[in-house]
């Protein structure tokens, strides 16, 4: 299991298109992927779940990956969330 706290660098936060891309990246992994915001967590492979978090630019979230490709999943998600565009 890998855990990492990241600050979302997307200029407009995670709106519909960036969320769809994040879900696509998470879904390419065999590992379980969760996003934690405050006391809430969702499956990062769920588009509707991710939309309920209402993540804005500069906000701190925690990514948790668990499974056979957890390190790759973590790297890919962190790279995406920390890129400005």
Range of the domain at 57: 2-82
Measured torsion, CA atoms of residues 48, 54, 60, 65, in degrees rounded to the nearest 10 = 0
pLDDT at 14: 87
Whether the per-residue pLDDT at 57 is higher than 70: the answer is yes
Q: What is the pLDDT of residues 6-53, one digit of tens each?
A: 999 887 888 899 999 999 999 999 999 999 999 999 999 999 999 999
What CATH number does residue 14 fall under? 3.30.1340.10
Q: Report the number of distinct structural domains present in the chain.
A: 1
CA atoms within 13 A on the CB side of 36: 11
What is the arithmetic mean of pLDDT over 57-78? 96
pLDDT at 10: 84
Whether the per-residue pLDDT at 56 is higher than 80: the answer is yes
Give a three-class secondary structure readout of 11-57: CCCCCHHHHHHHHHHHHCCCCEEEEEECCEEEECCCHHHHHCCCCCC
The answer to whether the beta carbons of residues 78 and 63 sit under 8 Å apart is yes
pLDDT at 33: 98
User: What H or E segment, with its residue span, contains residue 74?
Assistant: helix 70-82
Higher pLDDT, 68 or 10: 68
């Amino acid at each position: 299991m890998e855990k990492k706290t990241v600050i979302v660098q997307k200029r407009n936060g995670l709106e519909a298109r960036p969320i769809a891309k994040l879900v696509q990246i998470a879904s390419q992994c065999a590992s379980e992927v969760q996003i934690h915001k405050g006391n809430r967590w969702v499956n990062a492979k769920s588009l509707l779940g991710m939309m309920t978090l209402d993540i804005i630019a500069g906000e701190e979230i925690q990514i948790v990956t668990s499974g056979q490709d957890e390190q790759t999943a973590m790297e890919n998600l962190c790279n995406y969330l920390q890129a400005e565009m």
